[in-house]
Amino acid sequence: MIKPNPDSCHLLLDSRLANEEVQKNPYTYNSIREVLSDGALNAATVEHPVTVYIAPGIYWLEDPQSEVVIVREDPKDLYPYGCKVNCANLKLVGLSENPEDVVIAANRGNDHGAKGNYTLFHFSGEQLEMENLTLGNYCCVDLDYALDPAQSVKKRTEAITQAQLADTNADKFHAKNCRFVSRLNLYPVCGAGRSLYEHCRFEQTDDALNGNAVYLDCEFDFYSGMPIYQASGTGAVFLNCTFHCKYPQDGETHAQYFTKVGGQIALIDSSFAGLPDTKVAVLWTKYPSVALKCYQANVTYPEGRFTPPEVADSHTVDIDEKMLAEAYYIRKDGETVYNVYNLLGGKDDWDPLGNGEVIRFAGKTDIPTQLLLESEAFELEAGGSSINIKGKCLTFDGRERKCEIHFKIEGDSADSIEIQRVSEGSCLLQLKDSNIDHETEVVLTAQ
């Protein structure tokens, strides 16, 4: 275990220290607010982080019994924040391999100790990392602290209310061996340009998870059916994850969606679990758009109790043994290397797992994961103008790549439409027969 020697770039937070002990060392703290203040973090630069080492304990942002109602500090703020942290490059590291030993906590939510969706933190900076800790909003969840049960705290309300954790404007966020605890609107440090959650656990109900992130070796406790509001941008990727569906054993079949309003999801080497008599139907979203495509490979479901998305359904693409799979993983000699470097490397070669050299040597970089179609119109009229369709191929971190795209038309009237190739990524659609006198629909597929 790390034994930190405090200095301007290595700070120690320990709630057990008396004020007198803290005053003897300018780099030692017993208050979470003090150690995350501008004055404490002023040595950080983009190239050199400040690391805050946190001893086991519970670190409340404010008195959990306080009846003061928190409101937005600034009208421009998205939410009423408990604490705003400004640091170019920040690492928070718990000094225990068990993340349940180091807890950063609050217990406020919408209409329960706050006016609006209370959020513990807003982090401003370029890069943020967390390791070996729990970030929890215990507004509607009991805090049971095993190291010292006397410090346990009961939830503020029985109501499942919006009680959030954190957001950030950082370019890069990496959480490793962390727990994120709340229920509605978990918000486990959302907003970064690139986000990786590695070996983390999440407890949540709806509208809760980061919808544009990579989750590796993570576990999820689903207490309701729509954990992601929307998988934004290039979506969410789950690699070797386990989903625990915590539904009652009532004989009913519970719908487990991934998103409320859609967006792209990729499930790789993942599995579902539930109580012995719980029945669950797994679906991508309740009202999928015609263009939605979600990827899966090697996903397992308990037989007889879980109904998976059909491989043949129009929204599910099984990519196992297809070229696209290499964007997510490489299988060689019985081993799997998850291609997080391809997903999150970006222009600056960010390599949080340290396997970028292996990926580059294999030549599996800059592989797109999303194909979008763009056009000013999607209707053809007899005697009217043709339609130009452009395909856009994006890497997971949002960079556009030039790729050869193949187009085809399907449907009852497909023979009445001509596809003229314009470039490797676009085509022109026009009616062959201008005498068509009725409305009909066809499907354009790009691959």
Considering the entire predicted model, what is its pTM?
A: 0.95
pLDDT tops 60 at residue 311: no
Question: What is the percent of the chain with per-residue pLDDT over 90, rounded to a whole number?
Answer: 84
Strands (E), 279-369: 279-285, 294-297, 306-307, 316-318, 329-332, 335-338
Q: What is the pLDDT of residues 315-336, one digit of tens each?
A: 999 999 999 999 999 998 889 9
Residue-wise pLDDT tens digits, 265-288: 999 999 999 888 889 999 999 999
pLDDT per residue as tens digits for the range 403-443 = 999 999 988 888 888 899 889 999 999 888 666 678 888 88
Rounded to whole angstroms, the Cα distance separating 429 from 439 reads: 16
Q: Which residues of 320-351 are buried (b: 16+ CB within 10 A; e: fewer)?
A: beeebbbbbbbeeeeeebbbbbbbbbbeeebe
Residue 85, C-beta contacts closer than 8 angstroms, at least 6 positions apart: 36, 41, 121, 122, 123, 124, 125
Q: Which of 14, 26, 88 lies closest to 57 in space, CA to CA? A: 14
Residue 353 corresponds to which tokens in the numbers above?
Answer: 């797992």
Host H or E run for residue 90: strand 89-94
- Segments in 201-355 forming alpha helices (H): 340-344
The overall average pLDDT reported for the chain is 94
Q: Which two tokens stand for residue 280?
A: 């669950």
Write down the domain spans for the chain. Answer: 1-197, 211-314, 321-367, 370-446
CB proximity list for 54: less than 8 A, separation 6 or greater:
13, 14, 92, 93, 94, 95, 102, 104, 133
Helix (H/G/I), strand (E/B), else coil: 100: helix
